[in-house]
Amino acid sequence: MKHRYLPMTDKDRTEMLAVAGAQSVEDLFADIPAAVRFQGRLAVGEALDEASLLKYMRRLAGKNADFDQYSSFLGAGIYDHHLPVVVNHVISRSEFYTAYTPYQPEISQGELQAIFEFQSYICELTGMAVANASMYDGATALAEAAALAYGVTKKRRIVVSRGVHPEARAIIRTTAKGHGLDMVEIGCDRGVTNLAELASKLGDDTAAILMQSPNFFGSIEDLAAVRPLAQQYGALFVVSANPLSLGLLEAPGRLGADIAVGDAQPFGIPASFGGPTCGYFAVSDKWMRRMPGRIVGQTVDRSGKRGFVLTLQAREQHIRREKATSNICSNQALLALCAAVYLSTLGKQGIQEVARINVQKAHYAARILGAVDGVTLPHAASPFFNEFVLKLVDRSGQAADVTDLNRRLLDHGIVGGYDLGREDDQLRGHMLVAVTEQRTREEIDGLAARLGELL
């Protein structure tokens, strides 16, 4: 045996082949026609020893454009926020990072308490009565909300603003097809949902109105104006919100939302390569038994000691298979714990302060960038949180190539904003810029200077 730490020995291999009735490993593939089998040697390097492999992998990792080396203005759903070191310290404890769904809740008290704290924080932020723990991400949470609305109302029209993230709209569209629902999209005007068009597309067959605020373009929607429209047709009002913005903005529950969803990534969850993240899902009391996932409750034992229990698992296929409208069969408890630790560390005042800094820095950036030749703010009339849209025109008067511009910004150590032309041809030359508490005045001024040069 060449590798003493690997359990497979030549003797093991010989014994398994004998049981399978084969003389060699090659015999195991005899039923596959030679014409469709790869002939030759794969174009991979030779095996490396441990030291050489580590050096090779470090060189590869060094090619990544990470937040330690680059100033990132890229958002569109995943953001560069400060991650308190205590978050990683807590989630690295073995009792948390090895924990799975607590099917034996009586012996999972630490895990259950972590989930309970997360739920409590989400209810505080959203102004809703009940929250679960948790969803895969914000986009699937929004699709689950649409499914809940259909299950409640039995109506088949889902009305969705185009201010909702395009990836979320794609997931909603897929979910709607599975349920046989009709998804209707409402356009945006100057960065916010066109309320006149929204009103014209509603009817007695409308199950839900789905909005995002701050929306995909960073603009803050007039949610209070949408609630009466939903009530008029007996539709559920669903709001997707960046939870960090709720440190300053009015909670969706207090603006009449029936369901509040979103992505907890801004709360201590690293961007990584776009995930994984953790969705949140909160409802009013009325819809608690329709909510996907699980709810953890607080109680006392026979001795009066505080304890935690799985209170409700209402819609999962392993419990009510014939009635289930959700296929959520796991949870994101480790990532929910990230969010809970982050929120515990910052507290109420800290969350408000971070949200306020995001607003201040984003508005400073919008003012500085909007003054660059060839740059305008097409949605300047709409209030925004920490993201906004730039319209970029080169010296010839043509819409700038944002993809090429971002490639050139990388040479200056800057990760540029999101190219909105990828989503809509009419938005060619438009860049979605995110500014979080991580960005400094020097970095913002540097982006403005580089854009002025490159345009």
What range does the domain containing 449 cover? 71-81+347-454
Do 303 and 236 reside in the same domain of the chain? Answer: yes
Query: Does a structural domain hold residue 59?
Result: no
Q: Are residues 153 and 297 in the same domain?
A: yes
Residues with Cβ within 8 Å of 263's Cβ and at least 6 positions away in sequence, in order, are 77, 137, 138, 139, 141, 242, 243, 277, 278, 279, 280
Closest CA to 365 of 264, 247, 454, 451: 451
Any domain includes 408: yes
- Considering the domain architecture, whether residues 328 and 381 belong to the same structural domain is answered as no
Residues 216 and 361 in one domain: no
Last residue of a domain, one of 320, 343, 366: 343
Range with lowest mean pLDDT among 307-311, 385-389, 446-450: 307-311
Residue 166, pLDDT score = 97
162 inside domain: yes
Provide, rounded to the nearest whole percent, the portion of the chain with pLDDT above 70: 93
How far is 245 from 214, CA to CA, in rounded Å? 8
Mean pLDDT check: name the lowest of 212-226, 234-248, 314-328, 429-443.
314-328
115 and 232, same structural domain?
A: yes
What are 270-281's pLDDT values in tens digits? 999 888 999 999
Last residue of a domain, one of 308, 343, 378: 343
Are both 196 and 175 inside the same structural domain? yes
Q: Write out the DSSP string of 233-251.
A: TT-EEEEE--GGGGGTSPP
Mean pLDDT of 371-384: 96
Claim to verify: residue 407 and residue 435 sit in the same structural domain: yes
Q: 296 in helix, strand or coil? A: strand
Type of residue numbered 348: K
Which amino acid would we find at residue 83? L
Whether residues 360 and 318 fall in one domain: no
Q: Are 74 and 410 in contact (CB under 8 A)?
A: no
Angle between helices 138-153 and 166-179 (to 10 degrees): 40
Q: Is residue 403 part of a domain?
A: yes
CATH number at residue 199: 3.40.640.10
Whether residues 318 and 238 fall in one domain? yes
* Nearest residue to 418 via CA among 7, 163, 188, 79: 79
Mean pLDDT across 38-67: 90
Residues 185 and 112 in one domain: yes
| Average pLDDT estimate for 83-88 | 96
Mean pLDDT across 299-319:
78
Say if residue 336 is in the same domain as residue 235: yes
Task: Kindly report which listed range (103-107, 140-144, 285-289, 369-373) carries the lowest average pLDDT score.
Answer: 103-107
Angle CA 263–246–123, to nearest 5 = 75
Q: Rounded to an integer, what distance in angstroms lies between the CA atom of residue 423 and that of residue 365? A: 24
By CB atoms closer than 10 A (0-12, 13-18, 19+), residue 154 is exposed
Rounded CA separation 306/236 (Å): 36
pLDDT in tens, 2-21: 666 667 788 899 999 999 99
From CA 220, how far away is CA 212, in angstroms rounded?
8
What's the CA gap between 125 and 424, in Å, rounded?
33
Query: What's the structural domain count of the chain?
Result: 2
Task: Tell me if 42 is assigned to some domain.
Answer: no
